[in-house]
Amino acid sequence: MSIEVRVPTLGESVTEATVATWFKKPGDAVAVDEMLCELETDKVTVEVPSPAAGTLGDIIAAEGETVGVNALLATLSEGAGAATAKASAPATAAAPSETGGKAVDVMVPTLGESVTEATVSTWFKKVGDTVAQDEMLCELETDKVSVEVPSPAAGVLTEILAAEGTTVEASGKLAVIGGSSGAAAAPAPQADPAPAAAPEATGKKDIEHAPSAQKLMAEKGLTPAQVTGTGRDGRIMKEDVMKAASAPQAVPARRLAVNAPTG
């Protein structure tokens, strides 16, 4: 049976993303929730997990292509062990919509094959903020990838259990969302700061580079001027930083002063 792999929700007011990296190629065997590819938006990095176990068929959106929300990324031939995972998925997905006024735990998602822990890189929300279902709450960093954590329900962020810089294990608890009957009607503008529009007006210098790329530049002691961005409008991706860090450093040529002949 063929299964479609589609672009997930990218966050509030984000309608498209660029396919940054495919971790798998057609014909590769994949496990349930194993990371297939990474998408980059102007604000965040989003990883796309496999919806079932099986074999990756056709890749519809190649690296560098721009895709909209729910666009088709690839096809997957379902394997033998996928039926169980597929059957349990609807029950898990139904939970957020039935929370009502109850508290909902925000857990560390699947981080990828053989990855057991991650570091909390950035919180996009603070305690007391109203959040919509699937709105991005925080970003996690592993040795290989960046993983964004969406809100499992609409409500109010009542508690952050893992602060920025904290190392968390797979399936660990990150925060708590308190159910709120008025959450759906709450105004969204507070999550949409006005300065976000500035980069387009001020030019290339103010482009918001990928969070994972910014962290890696800091670790490698590089500046954006030393890295060539391959993302949209020159946006620097994590792979660009890795390429710049591994490139041999150019030795500046020195001018030798030549004394004029005397006599």
pLDDT tens figures, 104-142: 899 988 776 677 888 898 899 999 999 888 888 988 888
Instruction: Provide the 8-state DSSP code for 187.
Output: -
Measured between alpha carbons, how far is 138 from 48 in angstroms, rounded to an integer?
16
Question: Which amino acid appears at position 12 of this protein?
Answer: E
Which of 20-34, 195-209, 231-245 is predicted with the least confidence, judged by mean pLDDT?
195-209
List all residues 6 or more positions away from 209 whose beta carbon is below 8 Å from its beta carbon: 217, 224, 229, 231, 235, 236, 237
- CATH fold of 99-193, please? OB fold (Dihydrolipoamide Acetyltransferase, E2P) (2.40.50)
pLDDT tens figures, 192-223: 444 444 444 444 445 667 777 788 888 888 88
**Residue burial 135-158, b: 16+ Cβ < 10 Å; e: rest:** bbbbbbbbebbbbbbbbbbbbbbb
**Taking the domains of the chain in order of start, what are their residue ranges?**
1-96, 99-193, 200-246
Measured between alpha carbons, how far is 147 from 171 in angstroms, rounded to an integer?
13
Asked whether 36 and 50 are in contact (CB, 8 A), the reply is yes
| Neighbour tally for 128: CB within 10 Å | 9
Measured between alpha carbons, how far is 166 from 17 in angstroms, rounded to an integer?
28
* Percentage of residues in the chain having pLDDT higher than 90: 11
Residues forming a β-bridge with 48: 37
Question: Which amino acid appears at position 196 of this protein?
Answer: A
Which of 57-61, 178-182, 240-244 is predicted with the least confidence, judged by mean pLDDT?
178-182
3-state secondary structure of 83: helix
> Which of 73, 64, 45, 67 lies closest to 231 in space, CA to CA?
64
Q: What is the CATH number of domain 200-246?
A: 4.10.320.10
What is the predicted pLDDT for the residue at 91? 38
Q: Do domains 99-193 and 200-246 have the same CATH topology?
A: no
* Confidence bin at 97 (pLDDT 50/70/90): very low
The DSSP element (H or E) to which 151 belongs, if any, is none
Asked whether 137 and 193 are in contact (CB, 8 A), the reply is no
Measured between alpha carbons, how far is 111 from 117 in angstroms, rounded to an integer?
8
* Confidence bin at 254 (pLDDT 50/70/90): low
- CATH fold of 1-96, please? OB fold (Dihydrolipoamide Acetyltransferase, E2P) (2.40.50)
